[in-house]
A and B are shown apart, each in its own frame.
Chain A
Amino acid sequence: MKQLLAILVDGSVYASWLFIISAGLTLIYGVMRILNMSHGSFYALGAYSGAAMVGWYFSTGSVPWFSFVALIAAALVAGISVGLLVERGLLRFMYGRDEVVMILVTYGVLLIMEDAIKLIWGVEPYFAYQPYTLLGRTKFAGLSFANYDFMLIGVSILIGLALWYGLNRTRNGKLLRVVIHDREIASALGINVARIFTITFLIGAGIGSLAGALTAPGLSVVPGMGIEVIVLAFAVVVIGGLGSITGALVGALIVGMSRAAAVHLYPDVELFVIYAVMGLVLAFRPQGLFAVANARKI
């Protein structure tokens, strides 16, 4: 029973983390049809800027609670500015190209960003544990949980709601959905698709960086952390259906719970379980659970 509770909680925490990471990835794909491999690097960027900012912040001896704001601000600033650079400086010249070519392009961006991060922040690990320990722990049912992890769940729900609201209730959000459905029609309707693309990429990059920053306090920030993440994010996004935020949520839950179960019951197959689940879903529904409609063109 205790183990079940541990699995559920761990699974939820992991799922929240996965959702925050994957939401940006799936959004960018849905709108721009680009599977952004460099998403992992934005995650790392957020983690490094956030951790560095927290480190500096606490050295100034300011109010501890505010470090959260500093953390988030640093990540968003870093993510959005680099995102702007990547989108305006490179991607916008490549729209309309084959999807696989875009993977290769974003792979190039990933490689560049990985080394750029190393050059800026070095290869030694960063620790930004203060926000994590600041929130304390909760004990119940004989288990001990970090409150920071619960906050993560809260944040992911917030982000989910914000995205839902943004896409369904705001004018810009509806424009985004039109573009997701059919880029050509959207363009023919007079929608400024290029601007939509920029906004989308910035949102995706921003959320990605935010994910990194929020994760940083819970672990050590090291080179290569982005690369491990992209593989997981991809599994989540594919299970949920490329382009679907709801899909990312459901996918995150499925992967999160499966992984938590594996970690507690049979740790050796952790990564295997995630991909086995992905394989299982794809075997029955090759387009994912909540695939975005794709008009047939023959």
Chain B
Amino acid sequence: MKTRSLALLFVFGLVVIAGGLLLPQWMSYLFTIAMGKGLVVLGLVLLMRAGLVSFGQGLYYCVGAYVAGMLTQFVGVTDILVIMLASVAVSVAIAAIIGLLLCRYREIFFAMFSMAFSMILYGLLVRNQFLGSTDGFNVANPSLLGWTPGAEASSDLVLIVAVFLVIVLGAVAWRYLKSLSGYAGEAVRENEIRLEYLGGSVFRVVYVKYIIAAGLAAIGGTITALVSGHVDPEMAYWTTSGEFVFIALMGGTAHVAAPIVAAVLFEALRTYAFAVSPYTWQMILGFALLAIILFMPSGLWSLVERFQNKKARKTS
């Protein structure tokens, strides 16, 4: 990444944090949730670039959230760094096992099978009385390295951590996409047979991406849990995963910033639509999804690219 872009990113991060701290509580709350979801979608985009649409990222989103919840509420561990590490570790472990089976599938099988796993978790959580069944349970406030902020300040803490993670992980993802493993995803999408004949292992490529996506989803879930103070099994319901897919399509898979931007837009739109007419939110989503597929299959980012291309043409 060029130094100029890095500097811009850093400044952007500062601006966002400042904004988050100054803006009204509900706005920064929304923004934090959007950051969390954006990270889940970033992982999903990695998979989509390899041609795999997962309808089950909610599984790891939920795992990340519940791990955060259980650590803070039942074990008394509130350090945000520890929680992050733990939720990623648990998610990655689960993904490593599930991936062994799931990553042998493609297309609709991968999509629906991934959904099935997410629903299994949902089913288990709903039946589990200890974890609050369909109501879920509350999550205590996080702390950082010994410092325990009050209720208000803890949302700010989560916001800052979220923005920080988005920037760091976004930069790493950007770099990753330029590596062999990143390109390999597109190779898998384009021609698996060729990859095998080149001596590459398609399974390995997909497996690695699946695990990375799981880790990212867990971080997203943890962020959501900590800022909202609540977790429930709905996070593993397949419609949550469907939301992530929608955001991914909305943003497109061209750039690492797309998922984040799309997530922010999505949350903003959702809040507005819900306030205006709660019984038509899904319908609006449905029409928007169809519109994107029909008219803008590369997502909103294609508009950005078109704008960039116009600028480039003007200067040359």
Rounded to whole angstroms, the CA-CA distance of A238 and B114 in the bound complex is 13
Closest to B52 in A: A100
Instruction: Let me know if A174 is at the binding interface, CB within 8 A.
Output: no
Contact between chains at A111 and B286 (CB < 8 Å): yes
Interface string of A88-103 (1 = CB under 8 A from B): 0010010000111101
How many chain B residues touch A (CB < 8 A): the figure is: 38
Interface of A is mostly: helix
Contact between chains at B249 and A234 (CB < 8 Å): no
9 A–B contacts from the bound complex (CB under 8 Å): A103-B108, A108-B290, A108-B293, A112-B283, A231-B119, A231-B238, A268-B127, A271-B120, A286-B105
Rounded to whole angstroms, the CA-CA distance of A109 and B53 in the bound complex is 18
* Contacts A111-B283, A238-B109; A271 near B119 (Cβ below 8 A): yes
Instruction: Let me know if A278 is at the binding interface, CB within 8 A.
Output: yes
Instruction: Let me know if B104 is at the binding interface, CB within 8 A.
Output: yes
Which of these, A116, A234, A270, contacts B123 with CB under 8 Å? A270
**B window 83-113: CB within 8 A of A:** 101, 104-105, 107-109, 111-113
* Contacts A235-B116, A286-B104; A100 near B53 (Cβ below 8 A): yes
Contact between chains at A111 and B282 (CB < 8 Å): yes
Instruction: Let me know if A298 is at the binding interface, CB within 8 A.
Output: yes
Instruction: Let me know if B289 is at the binding interface, CB within 8 A.
Output: yes
Task: Name the 8 nearest CB pairs between A and B, nearest first.
Answer: A271-B123, A111-B286, A115-B283, A112-B286, A108-B289, A108-B290, A111-B282, A108-B286
* Contacts A271-B123, A272-B124, A275-B117; A107 near B280 (Cβ below 8 A): no
Contact between chains at A100 and B124 (CB < 8 Å): no
| Distance of A273 from chain B, by nearest CB (Å) | 9
Contact between chains at A90 and B281 (CB < 8 Å): no
Contacts of B107 in A (CB 8 A): 98-100
Contact between chains at A108 and B287 (CB < 8 Å): yes
Contact between chains at A272 and B286 (CB < 8 Å): no
Instruction: Let me know if B210 is at the binding interface, CB within 8 A.
Output: no
Instruction: Let me know if A137 is at the binding interface, CB within 8 A.
Output: no
Instruction: Let me know if A70 is at the binding interface, CB within 8 A.
Output: no
Which of these, A101, A118, A123, A275, contacts B120 with CB under 8 Å? A275
Contact between chains at B112 and A111 (CB < 8 Å): no
Contact between chains at A111 and B120 (CB < 8 Å): no
Closest to A238 in B: B112
Instruction: Let me know if A55 is at the binding interface, CB within 8 A.
Output: no
Contacts of A188 in B (CB 8 A): none
Instruction: Let me know if B66 is at the binding interface, CB within 8 A.
Output: no
Instruction: Let me know if A176 is at the binding interface, CB within 8 A.
Output: no
How many chain A residues touch B (CB < 8 A): the figure is: 41
Contact between chains at A231 and B280 (CB < 8 Å): no
Contacts of B123 in A (CB 8 A): 270-272
Instruction: Let me know if A63 is at the binding interface, CB within 8 A.
Output: no
Rounded to whole angstroms, the CA-CA distance of A98 and B122 in the bound complex is 29
Instruction: Let me know if A110 is at the binding interface, CB within 8 A.
Output: yes
Closest to B124 in A: A272
Contact between chains at A114 and B193 (CB < 8 Å): no
Contact between chains at B104 and A267 (CB < 8 Å): no
Contact between chains at B116 and A231 (CB < 8 Å): yes
Contact between chains at A104 and B286 (CB < 8 Å): no
Closest to B288 in A: A108
Contact between chains at B117 and A105 (CB < 8 Å): no
Closest to B242 in A: A107
Interface string of A268-296 (1 = CB under 8 A from B): 11111001001100110010000000000
Closest to B127 in A: A268
Contacts of B242 in A (CB 8 A): 107
Rounded to whole angstroms, the CA-CA distance of A118 and B284 in the bound complex is 13
Contacts of A112 in B (CB 8 A): 282-283, 286-287, 290
Q: A112-B290, A113-B286, A115-B282 are in contact. List 13 more A-B contacts (CB 8 A).
A: A105-B289, A108-B287, A111-B282, A112-B286, A231-B116, A235-B116, A238-B113, A267-B127, A268-B128, A271-B120, A275-B119, A278-B116, A279-B116
Contact between chains at B283 and A116 (CB < 8 Å): yes
Contact between chains at A275 and B116 (CB < 8 Å): yes
Contact between chains at B249 and A104 (CB < 8 Å): yes
* Contacts A103-B108, A105-B293, A108-B293; A231 near B282 (Cβ below 8 A): no
**B window 267-290: CB within 8 A of A:** 279-283, 285-287, 289-290
Contacts of A269 in B (CB 8 A): 124
Contacts of B127 in A (CB 8 A): 267-268, 270
| Distance of A239 from chain B, by nearest CB (Å) | 11
Instruction: Let me know if A8 is at the binding interface, CB within 8 A.
Output: no
Closest to B122 in A: A271
Contacts of B173 in A (CB 8 A): none
Interface string of A227-271 (1 = CB under 8 A from B): 100010011001000000000000000000000000000011111
Instruction: Let me know if B216 is at the binding interface, CB within 8 A.
Output: no
Contacts of B285 in A (CB 8 A): 108, 111
Contact between chains at B193 and A103 (CB < 8 Å): no
